[in-house]
Every structure is written in structure tokens, then in C-alpha cells.
Structure 1
């Protein structure tokens, strides 16, 4: 082994008093001192810094709200054999057309509803009046169970009805009879008979023609249907169908 001029190997010189300091606990733990070209700021080594790890903090999550309920479909009101959805006019389906000969230009059946019929004031045929308040009753017709039936409308109270199977049936979709007063007249008759020029107002499902009539009952004069094969004119009163043998028939003036 060779020695330097100092007599010690590798030219380190003699150890200082007390001996050389112990080496670091792990080799290469610290960078070289500044004399070896490292910036002074990096020596001595900076103290260790504590960097906290990721901390999981539970966060309450509100339960998801259920979807809003589907809106309910509009409620249909069943009127006679037609479903009413709020229309102001109603056209019967093709299988309900009536083969009744009507004099063109002398009168018309105008489709409307009991609520909207007031717009026909001045054109509608007044067939009578209520006994309890004197309000007018108009001549109308409406479908029920396959029959097209003449009946009445209390325009003041927006209430229309026809007679069927012993009962007065409330209806909403109606046709109002419109004509000039000078073109029509009421002629007395009885027992299902009708004079020439009688106004056909409808028909039964079997094809029998029903005519427009009226009868007096309990201080009222009420429009209704003349059913020839029953020898009667039927009117509605207090929810019931009332038969009359004596009545008036609505006729054209020829």
C-alpha cells in the first residue's frame, strides 16, 4: 500500500482528535457539501416535511327523489252515446246519420252543446217553458243508445235532456232546431197521430221516425218526442219519462 507524503494512505491526513465522525445511517442520504459544487441552499439537507395523505370524509347524500307522477288523463264525460271532450260542436259518426227528409231552408238542426247553445238565441225554436220559473225551453235532439231523440233544452240553466226507457236522460251534445217563427206552427193531435208537414226529429235504432211534439204538464209546456207506434208523446219531467195522449205537433207551414 502506498502512502502520500504525509505518511497516511490516500492523503487524508491523520484523524482528528476523537476520531473520524461516524458515517450517516444510510449511504447517500445527504447531498455532497457545498465544496463539491452543490448550491449552499441544499446543504445541510432540509428538515423532513409531513405531507398528509388522502383523508376520506363521509358526506351524507340525500336519497334520490322519485320521478314526478305522470299527469292524469283528462276525465271524459260520457254523454248519450258520445264521449264529450269539451268540443263546442259535435258531428255524429257515420253510422249515426239519419235518413230523414227535411225541407231545406225552412229549418236546420245546429250541432252544439248545452253550455254553448245560448249563442243561438234568436234562431232557436222555442217549444215551451218551465212551470216553476217560466224560463224558455228549446226544441233539441240528441243521440242515446242508438236512437236520435227529440227533447228539450233549458237555455237559462244550460240543461238538456231526452226521454228513453221511462227515464229523462241528461245530455250535453245536442242539435238545436233553428227556424223562422213564420215557417212553423204547432198543431194539436193525439194517440200517436201526426198531421201532414210534421217535423221529423229523429228515429229509433229500428228505423221508426220520431216527431217533434210538446205537452202541458204541471204548469209547464215541455217539448218532447212523438212515438207513433206507442200512440203517445213523451216528455221529460223531474227525471221521469211522462207519456201523453194529447199533445201538439210541430209542423211546417206549406
Structure 2
């Protein structure tokens, strides 16, 4: 039969090969199955990314509060301080004021007199080394005789009976420099305010005097009945008719 397809098994999935020239396929009831379409591609969503939960934040516990055993104040406003009670005195007594004396004599020795340096009133100086001389008084032959202390040389002397006499126990003249002053005098005259510093064995007052002698300013004693000032110098007692005498300003 003309124009029939060649015999053989039907083609599955692919179209038939081309026919020779002059030949044609006759449609038949035989259905050639087509190549099945590829299965559909299902696009699955990406798997979820795992995010770990954040670590917990640790808050330290609050410090323990002190347990007060007393009741809390009733008000939160500060109260002003209360002043101390005032004691009223009807008749107050005046304060006791201790006044230092204008001058005084303090017991000492050549080795302890240094402790009085802040209180002493310097009355002279040595001519050869310019060291200070202090006024003193010492008991001798029944009298209390003014003299001098060479503090730098720890030597104390009084003038008596034409001689310079060394003494070892005496009293140092101390005074407020604003309360005393020197006044010029002569021939045994005693101005008002002259400071009595001793006495003779018969009770006649003796005073502190000073004179210039051989380059020194030497303190000694003013003897009114002798009308002069005596000093001790170079183992002798020397007299001057003109002198300075120490007086209290008050």
C-alpha cells in the first residue's frame, strides 16, 4: 500500500525520521506519546538563619541598707541648729590681770644667769671685747652692794672698800626696757624715780649707776653720802663724781 509508514515499532519521545522523496505520512489513529515534560522545579525558601538570643544582663544586687533601730525623722527638711543657752550673770567679776613688774632682781650664779638673757636689762659693755655687762647686787659685809656681771666671762664683781671683790651668788637686775631710763647726775644727787638697788650696812640706800672708764661702759653703785658713783675695774674700786643713774619712768 502506497504512502504507508514503514513498519516497525513506533517512535517514542522523538519525531520520526524524514521520509524519502515522494513519500508522505498518512495520519492514523495511532497516537505517538510525546516525551514527558520535565518535572516542575520547586523553589524552596532558604532555611532560616539561627540567631542565638542575647545573653542576659546581670545587675548586681543593691547594697544592704543599714537597719536603723531609731524611728525615722518626721520631716525631711533640715532643722536649723539650736543656739547654746545664754547664761546671764547679774554682776560679773572683772578678769584678773597679772601685771609684770617694771623691774626685779632674780637670784642667780655665774653658771645659771644665762637663763635670764631674755629678761635682763643690759647696763654696760666691756671696752676690750665689747661683751655685755649686767647689773647685779650681792650681800657683802652686812650690806647689799650693786655691782656688775660679765656674762660672757661668767665673772661677777662688786666695788667695796677700794677693791674689786668677786662674788658667786647674786641677784641679776631684770627690767622692761620701756619702763626704765638713764638720767645724768653728779655729786651724789639722786633724781626722782631713781631705782634703789641695795644698801650699806648702816641702811643707806644705794642705786644703779654707770660711768665711761678706759673704753668701757661699766655699771656700779651710786653712794649718795659719798657724792659719787663707784665701779669695780682691774681689781680696784674707782669713783666718779659725774655719772648716769637708772630711773623708773613711772
TM-score range (shorter-chain normalised) is 0.5 to 0.7
2:236 corresponds, among 228, 236, 240, to 240
Structure 1 residue 114 displacement after superposition = 1.5
1:188 aligned residue: 184
CA distance in 2, matches of 1:237, 1:163: 8
1:199 aligned residue: 195
Q: What RMSD over aligned residues (CA atoms) do the two structures have, in Å? A: 1.2
- Spell out, residue by residue over 1:120-169, the C-alpha distance to the aligned partner (whole angstroms, 9 max, x if none): 00211111100010000001100111110111000000000001100010
Would you say 1:157 and 2:153 are equivalent positions?
Answer: yes
Q: Secondary structure at the match of 1:205?
A: coil
1:249 aligned residue: 245
1:114 aligned residue: 110
CA distance in 2, matches of 1:108, 1:132: 29
CA distance in 2, matches of 1:116, 1:170: 16
Structure 1 residue 235 displacement after superposition = 0.4
2:144 aligned residue: 148
Q: Which moved more, 1:217-226 or 1:104-113?
A: 104-113
Structure 1 residue 180 displacement after superposition = 1.0
Structure 1 residue 105 displacement after superposition = 1.1
Structure 1 residue 222 displacement after superposition = 0.5
Stretches of structure 2 that go unaligned for 5 or more consecutive residues are 1-99
- Spell out, residue by residue over 1:76-130, the C-alpha distance to the aligned partner (whole angstroms, 9 max, x if none): xxxxxxxxxxxxxxxxxxxxxxxxxxxx811110001122101100211111100
Q: Secondary structure at the match of 2:225?
A: helix
Q: Secondary structure at the match of 2:107?
A: strand
Q: Secondary structure at the match of 1:156?
A: helix
Larger Rg: 2
Would you say 1:129 and 2:147 are equivalent positions?
Answer: no
Richer in helix (by share): 1
Runs of 4+ in 1 over 6 A off after TM superposition: none
CA distance in 2, matches of 1:136, 1:166: 24
1:224 corresponds, among 193, 211, 220, to 220
Q: Secondary structure at the match of 1:131?
A: coil
Structure 1 residue 191 displacement after superposition = 0.5
Q: Secondary structure at the match of 1:197?
A: coil
2:30 aligned residue: none
> What is the correspondence of 1:1-254 to structure 2 with a 5 Å cutoff?
105-254=101-250
* Residue correspondences, number: 152
Stretches of structure 1 that go unaligned for 5 or more consecutive residues are 1-103
CA distance in 1, matches of 2:152, 2:211: 20
CA distance in 2, matches of 1:123, 1:154: 16
CA distance in 2, matches of 1:169, 1:142: 10
Q: Secondary structure at the match of 2:178?
A: helix
Q: Secondary structure at the match of 2:212?
A: strand
CA distance in 1, matches of 2:190, 2:111: 32
